[in-house]
Structure 1
Amino acid sequence: MRAAYVERLGPVDAIRYGELPDPVPGPGEVLVRGIATAVNRVDTFVRSGLYPTPVPLPLVLGRDLVGEVVEPGTSGPAAGSPVWSNSLGHGGRQGAASRLACVPFTIGPSWVS
């Protein structure tokens, strides 16, 4: 898959764009095809190393993602379902600036008015 990533933390010129292996969802994750992503200020802090957090290298950048489920896993939403995430690209997770991303999936509270 095509992705924006870094092989080392540092300045903006460390960012690369190219092919990386497709991610494989683990327990509690769904595989999502990205439709849109944003550049979040936190992304620059993580990429530069100013926000110390465990990251796998190479690290796909990007925290925010809107997309659709490709592989729902055992308890995720059905394939084709729209999803949103804002917790990628730090804390040991790969980011959203790629064609495919593994997104942690949890069911939140239902709000009824």
Structure 2
Amino acid sequence: MVELQNTPCPVIELKRADDRWSGYASPAGVEHLAGDTLPHTDLPPHNMLVTDRAHLIDWAWPTRGAAWIDPAVLILRLMEAGHTAPNADARTSKHVPSWSTAPHAP
């Protein structure tokens, strides 16, 4: 995930996160979704292939947006796998810098 966040978003037409989810957040909250990274946005276990390293597959919802979006999705998946919310947050904060610096809700 850190490698993906450090990869420049390609210059191609992509839906923007602030457009994609504008109906689910306040205007102030939507501003936090904007960014220039390439979030995968769909991280169920069947979209991760693990060999000698992890690979994200099935890029059905690539989005241009804030770097913290995929870590937020990862936290939900960790909780689905049995982690508590504080544990999932702490693990993600420790390993994914963009989550540590994500804005708090206004």
Q: What TM-score, normalized to structure 1?
A: 0.27
| Higher share in strand | 1
| Higher share in helix | 2
Q: What TM-score, normalized to structure 2?
A: 0.28
Highest RCO, 1 vs 2 (Cα 8 Å, sep ≥ 6): 1
